[in-house]
């Protein structure tokens, strides 16, 4: 059963502690990356046989397989994907930047260009829950950013094919190429390139501990979005919420995996107990009961505070991936939220809405990293190039200042670079 704790009855550090999984993946992932770099496609085929238990004749998903996938999911699901895609595009189009230029009175031109990365790589996990929603969330912002090419890697099933829903979503989102490669080997392939999988400039998307470790190890050779951990939800509620609704929202994340975290913070002890009882009842209704129950028992908790102010303070310390404000006037509390990946306001805005249909991105910072990082966005797929132009007279006015800074740092070559244009460095040598 989920734990109920009263703030003050145990040290705050114990209440806020996250039980993050510890997987010794460094050595295994390092070997996978090394083999992919050395052996290319051959390593990808071997790892696919080893981990996915299937022998492939090609790593590339062909147009015929995509057409078959679209037919299999049917027109109604394709229409649903299209509606979700429209909402995601509408939200992310607001994030586009155009750069800027301005001219100062002395003729100096300064500016910034915003340029998309040449190739974005999207990783989509396989397994028992093919995340077709992640395809939309990760490919669409890259396309809006203007990336010339967006590639997608995802593991094949035992039949050697990619989950139809994933391919259907890739078609709707506009992915340019799809490859049947999963795990750390897919990250290595996109980071360094193989005969079939091209090298990407940015790799995004969730995955297991091995995928996360691979992203950590290849960072520097390629950019990555984040090192994501298990899914999290934190719900802040007053005593007027329906415990059935709160339990359902908490379980919506607990069913992701045994390491997921589901937390309720409330100022009402009665609601806390009713929600705990309701969680037990609803667990029996879930097809993934075993996973959700392990998550609830290992990482779930209900924290009772004196008031909602304390609840918000705790929330900011936890910096959760998903934060629901299940109160009468959530907008009055929103300004006090400093650290969260995505916030859901009111009793009628479940986190699941954000997973699929609302429009804001569901690839979010976890493990408290919302203290300093942000959800996936169009910004992840662009880079900024600064521009500076000084006419001769403008440089003449500041070159001695530049030289003074340079000499203060002991960099006389920098000083010479500024002074020589005005003839000063040359005159000093002649003297």
Strand, coil or helix: 220: coil
* Rounded Cα–Cα distance for residues 271 and 302 (Å): 10
The two tokens of residue 378 are: 């169009």
Q: Measured between alpha carbons, how far is residue 283 from residues 262, 349, 351 in Å?
A: 13, 21, 18
Query: Scanning the structure block, which residue is given the tokens 């607001």?
Result: 94
* Rounded Cα–Cα distance for residues 312 and 271 (Å): 18
SS (H, E, C) 335-385: CCCCCCCEEEECCCCCHHHHHHCCCCCCCCCCCCHHHCCCCCCHHHHEEEE
* Rounded Cα–Cα distance for residues 103 and 109 (Å): 5
Q: Is 64 a catalytic residue?
A: no
Which residue among 213, 322, 324, 362 is the active-site one?
322
H-helix or E-strand spanning residue 234: strand 232-237
Which residue among 213, 232, 321, 351 is the active-site one?
321
CB within 8 Å of 206: residues ≥ 6 apart: 123, 125, 131, 134, 228, 363
For 117-193, where are the E strands, in sequence order?
119-123, 149-154, 177-180
Task: Answer whether 242's CB lies under 8 Å from 271's CB.
Answer: no
CB within 8 Å of 201: residues ≥ 6 apart: 117, 118, 119, 120, 222, 223
Q: Is 321 a catalytic residue?
A: yes
Residues shown for the chain: 431
> Which residues carry out catalysis?
321-322
């Amino acid at each position: 059963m989920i734990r109920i704790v009263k703030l003050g009855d145990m040290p705050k550090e114990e209440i806020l502690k996250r039980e993050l999984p510890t997987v010794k993946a460094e050595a295994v992932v390092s070997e996978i990356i090394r083999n992919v770099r050395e052996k290319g496609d051959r390593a990808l085929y071997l790892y696919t046989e080893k981990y996915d238990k299937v022998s492939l004749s090609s790593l590339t998903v062909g147009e015929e397989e995509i057409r078959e996938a679209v037919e299999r999911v049917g027109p109604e699901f394709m229409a649903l994907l299209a509606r979700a895609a429209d909402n995601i595009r509408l939200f992310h189009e607001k994030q586009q930047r155009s750069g800027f230029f301005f001219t100062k009175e002395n003729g100096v031109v300064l500016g910034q260009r915003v340029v998309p990365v040449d190739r974005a790589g999207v990783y989509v996990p396989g397994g028992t829950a093919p995340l077709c929603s992640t395809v939309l969330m990760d490919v669409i912002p890259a396309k809006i950013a203007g990336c010339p090419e967006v590639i997608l890697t995802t593991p094949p099933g035992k039949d050697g094919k990619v989950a139809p829903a994933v391919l259907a979503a890739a078609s709707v989102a506009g992915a340019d190429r799809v490859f049947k490669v999963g795990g750390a080997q897919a990250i290595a392939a996109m980071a360094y390139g193989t005969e079939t999988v091209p090298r990407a400039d940015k790799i995004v998307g969730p995955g297991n501990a091995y995928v996360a470790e691979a992203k950590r190890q290849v960072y520097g050779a390629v950019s990555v979005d984040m090192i994501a951990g298990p899914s999290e939800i934190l719900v802040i509620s007053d005593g007027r919420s329906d415990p059935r609704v709160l339990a359902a929202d908490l379980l919506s994340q607990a069913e992701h995996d045994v390491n997921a975290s589901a937390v309720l913070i409330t100022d009402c002890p009665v609601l806390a107990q009713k929600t705990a009882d309701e969680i037990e009842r609803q667990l029996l209704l879930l097809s993934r009961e075993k996973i959700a129950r392990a998550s609830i028992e290992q990482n779930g908790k209900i924290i009772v505070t004196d008031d909602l102010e304390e609840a918000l303070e705790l929330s900011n310390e936890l910096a959760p991936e998903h934060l629901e404000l299940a109160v009468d006037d959530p907008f009055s509390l929103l300004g006090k939220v400093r650290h969260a990946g995505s916030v859901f306001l009111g009793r009628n805005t479940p986190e699941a809405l954000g997973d699929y249909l609302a429009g804001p991105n569901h690839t979010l910072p976890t493990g408290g990293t919302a203290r300093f990082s942000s959800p996936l966005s169009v910004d992840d797929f662009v880079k900024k190039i600064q521009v500076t132009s000084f006419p001769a007279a403008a440089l003449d006015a500041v070159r001695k200042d530049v030289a003074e800074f340079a000499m203060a740092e002991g960099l006389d070559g920098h000083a010479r670079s500024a002074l020589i244009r005005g003839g000063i460095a040359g005159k000093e040598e002649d003297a």
